[in-house]
Amino acid sequence: MATVTTAAEKRQLNPLDLYDIRSELSEEECMVQDSVARMVDDKVLPVIQEAFENHQFPRELIDEVAALGLLGSSIEGYDCAGLGSVCYGLICQELERGDSGLRSFVSVQSSLVMYPIYSYGSEEQKQRWLPAMARGEAIGCFGLTESQGGSDPSNMKTHAKRDGDDWILNGSKMWITNGNLADAAVVWATTEEGVRGFIVEKDMPGFTTQEIENKFSLRASVTSALFFDNVRVPNASVLPGVVGLKGPLSCLTQARYGITWGVIGAAQACLDEVLNYTRDRVLFHKPLAHNQAIQLRLADMARRITTAQLLSLHLGRMKDEGRMTPAQVSLAKWNNCRAALDIARDARDMLGGSGISAEYVPIRHMLNLESVITYEGTETIHQLIIGKELTGINAF
Ligand code: TGC
Ligand code: FAD
C-alpha cells in the first residue's frame, strides 16, 4: 500500500519546488542545474540590474555561458555538449532566474541558429559555424518576423531570387534578438521554390542592422531590425535540407520548449523575493505573511509554479522519447508564460511601492515576461494552435 508522509515525518518542503521535481532528475541533470545556478548567482545576479537599467546586454557573460557548454547544448558533436532535453530546460530555467534577456541570448543561439544549421545545413556549413558558435566566438540571430505581422509568417515579403550560383536577397526583418551582435543571421525568405533559409554574414554588402532603442522590456538583450538591399548570398550559404515554412516553424518548437522551462526560473525568483519580503515587512503589528489574503496569493504562486514544472518535465521526457508534438509545446508555452507573468505582476504588487524599484527583481521579470508571452507565438496564437488540435479546424 502506498504510504503518506505522517506529521512526525513531516519535513520542510522547498517552497520553490513543492513536488520535489529535483528528485526526478538524473545525476547529470542535477549537475548541470547546479553549475548553471552557481554561474547565475556569481556572475549574472551581480550585474544584471545595472545592465537592464542601462539597456545593455552584458557581453562578458557570453564567455561564461560558452565555457559551461550552454550554447547548442543539445547538439551531438561539433564541440557541443550533447545533453538531453531536460538538461536544456534546466539551463533555460536557471538562466531566466537571472534574466529573460540572457536566456533569450542562449535560446536564439542554440535553438534558432545552431539547431537549423545542424538539422538542415550542409556538412561544410556545420563545420564552419557550429564549433565557433558553441565557443561563443560566432554569434547568430534568427530572422523570421517582419513588420507587417509576426504572427503570420506566411505573409513574408523578404524574398530571394537565383542569380547564377548566387541568390539576391531583398527585404527586412523586425524584432530580431541578437541582431546587432550577430556574425551571421539565419534569414528566412520566400523563393520560387518556397521559403528557404539563408546564412547571411554581417559583412555581406547590402546587409545592415539597426538596434531597437527605448524598450521597456528585455532591456538586457539586443533587439534589432535587419535590412537586406540586394544582398548577394552564395548558394553555399543556403540551408539545403528544408524548403517551406516548416523549416522556421520547427526551430520555433525547439525554442518554445526551452521557454516553457525558462519562465519557471523567472517565476521562482519572484516568489523567492516576495516570500522574504512578506516575512520581514510588518504592517498592522504583524508580518505581512501572517495575513490569510497574502498566504492565498503565495499559495497560488506555488500552485502555478508546480504545475508549470510538471508540464515542462513531462514535455522534456516526451521530447527525448521523440513523441513531443508542437501543440503540446504550445500548451506549456501558453500556461507557463501566463503563470510566470501573473506571478511577477502579483509579486510586484505585494512589494507595494518597493515593487516598482529595480532593487527588487519582480518588476524586471514582469517587464521581461511581457516580451516572453509575446514572442515565439503570442498567447492567442498558442491557444488557437490548441483549438486546431482539438477541433481539426484551422482558425487562422
Ligand atoms: P501551417 O500551414 O500550420 O504550417 C506550415 C507547415 O509547417 C508545419 N508546422 C510546424 N512544424 C514544426 N513545428 C511547428 N511548430 C509547426 N507548425 C507548423 C506544418 O506541419 C506545415 O508543414 P507542411 O509540411 O504541411 O508544409 O502554417 P500557418 O501559416 O497556418 O501558420 C500557423 C501558425 C500561426 C501556428 C504559425 O504561423 C505560427 O506559429 N505563428 C507564430 C509565429 C512565431 O511564433 N514567430 C516567432 C518568431 S521567432 C521569435 O519570436 C524569437 S524570440 C527568441 C528569444 O529572444 O528568445
Ligand atoms: P501581431 O502578429 O501583429 O499580433 C498583434 C496582436 O494580434 C497580438 O495580440 C496577437 O495575439 C493578435 N492576433 C494575431 N493573430 C490573431 C488571430 N488570428 N486571432 C486573434 N488575435 C490574433 N522574431 C524573430 O523572428 N526573431 C527574433 O529573434 C525575435 N525576437 C524578439 C524579441 C522581442 C523582445 C520581441 C518583442 C519580439 C521578437 N520577435 C522575434 C518577434 C515576435 O516573434 C513577434 O513579436 C510575435 O510573433 C508577434 O508578432 P507581432 O509583434 O507582429 O504581433
CB-ligand 1 contact for 93 (6 Å cutoff): no
The closest-lying atom of ligand 1 relative to the alpha carbon of residue 104 is: 56
DSSP 8-state code for residue 279: H
C-beta atoms surrounding 67 within 10 Å? 12
Question: How far is it, in rounded angstroms, from Cα 195 to Cα 42?
Answer: 43
Give me the CATH code for the 140-237 domain, please. Answer: 2.40.110.10
- 167: cell is 541568390
Q: Which CATH number, 2.60.40.3120, 3.40.50.620, 1.10.540.10, 3.40.640.10, labels domain 21-134?
A: 1.10.540.10
Query: Strands (DSSP E) along 144-284, which ranges?
Result: 159-163, 166-177, 184-191, 194-201, 207-211, 223-234, 282-283
Active-site positions?
Answer: 376
The closest-lying atom of ligand 2 relative to the alpha carbon of residue 396 is: 18
Question: How far is it, in rounded angstroms, from Cα 345 to Cα 365?
Answer: 9
Which architecture characterizes domain 246-391 according to CATH? Up-down Bundle (1.20)
Q: Whose CA is nearest to atom 29 of ligand 1?
A: 154
Place of cell 518556397: 194
CA angle 232, 235, 236 (to 5 degrees): 115
Tens of pLDDT, residue by residue, the chain (396 residues): 455 555 545 668 999 999 999 999 999 999 999 999 999 999 999 999 999 999 999 999 999 999 999 999 999 999 999 999 999 999 999 999 999 999 999 999 999 999 999 999 999 999 999 999 999 999 999 999 999 999 999 999 999 999 999 999 999 999 999 999 999 999 999 999 999 999 999 999 999 999 999 999 999 999 999 999 999 999 999 999 999 999 999 999 999 999 999 999 999 999 999 999 999 999 999 999 999 999 999 999 999 999 999 999 999 999 999 999 999 999 999 999 999 999 999 999 999 999 999 999 999 999 999 999 999 999 999 999 999 999 999 999
Domain boundaries in the chain?
Answer: 21-134, 140-237, 246-391
Residues 6+ apart with CB under 8 A from 45: 98
Amino acid at 200: V
- 277: cell is 519580503
C-beta atoms surrounding 286 within 10 Å? 10
CB-ligand 2 contact for 144 (6 Å cutoff): yes
- 9: cell is 515525518
